[in-house]
Amino acid sequence: MKIGVPTEIKSQESRVAITPAGVHQLVQHGHDVLVEKGAGLGSAISDEAYEHAGAKLIGSAADTWGQADLVLKVKEPIESEYGYLRPDMTLFTYLHLAADKPQTDALLSSGAVSIAYETVQTDRGGLPLLSPMSEVAGRLSTLVGSQCLLKHHGGDGTLISGVPGVKAGKVVVIGGGTAGYNAAQMAHGLRAQVTVLDVNLERLAQLDSEFHGSVSTVASTSYAINDAIADADLVIGSVLIPGARAPKLVTNEMVAAAKPGSVFVDIAVDQGGCFADTHATTHAEPTYQVHNSIFYAVANMPGAVPVTSTYALTNATLPYVTKLADLGWREALCRDKTLARGLSTAAGELTSEPVALAWGHSFTSAAHVLAA
């Protein structure tokens, strides 16, 4: 199979979909890996490193997409890439379709097979291809949030760790999943006062045990969220419903009542965000003001640390990429229920029910598509 790896072109996106080690494995399995020249430079991977691993360098995005049976990306295709989509190709990447109607419509009209990293899901509900980037985004959210708290960045001037004789800043994390846990872990490591809210009491008990009671855990309700953020310095939203739009848990009124100079970081922005006032930003212009607070809502947060993110992502995706290349998309999905749950579109059919509900499209089950 011919596997294409184009350069990412989303603003300030420096990750790449595969490492030289991944290329080497696929070549050993008898596949051709076509890497667009310069695709890995943002992640400190040279063209020569890819060639040494067995890749073939391609001079343009059009040729990389056009020659490939399977295209690997990190971020969803943007408008300038829609023309590369076609019915005889498989696209494997993060899609976040429930927050992106133009992309949904483009994939459906193209007839392409698309498989979303973020909805590949195990029988126990694990998200193996989302988890590594959630880990990165969670840890990064605390770091960028603490930077935004600096007075010259518009924050309230709080050092979240405090110093002897001065209390630490208050960090509120909404959602205790992978991203939320990593955000809380980083904030706790910086000696902040940390509160985690979640609707899952079992998860809160796990967090209480993990942090030996040194992080406050609160059952999440609208009342509890409002109460927690009223005097918070940093609020991190990390709520996830796999494949669906994130629920809006922090209202405009809650932000209006928050501390002046407080910072809100929305990790859920790829899925529409869990704050009512969230709109996607870029690394070039990451923040904006809502009432007297600063919002950070970069839609590709892990792209800021591509050397870490690229390797973490390839570690997770490579076993699934190898299956798709060895077996073809249909046979791979028939054999692997975890991978099958990532199927989003095929031959003009939408196979994600949450996306269908978000945009009013009809829905066909993945099982029906695979049985056809």
Q: How many residues does the chain have?
A: 372
Q: Identify whether the C-beta of residue 2 lies closer than 8 Å to the C-beta of residue 69.
A: yes
Q: Identify whether the C-beta of residue 113 lies closer than 8 Å to the C-beta of residue 89.
A: yes
Q: Identify whether the C-beta of residue 341 lies closer than 8 Å to the C-beta of residue 120.
A: yes
Residues 6+ apart with CB under 8 A from 233: 149, 155, 156, 158, 160, 169, 170, 171, 259, 262, 263
Residues with a catalytic annotation lie at: 96, 270
> HSE-up of 315 (CA within 13 Å, CB side)?
10
Dihedral, CA of residue 355, residue 341, residue 180 and residue 278, to nearest 10:
-20
Give the helix/strand (H/E) hosting 56: strand 56-58
Helices then strands, counting H and E runs in the chain, come out as: 14, 15
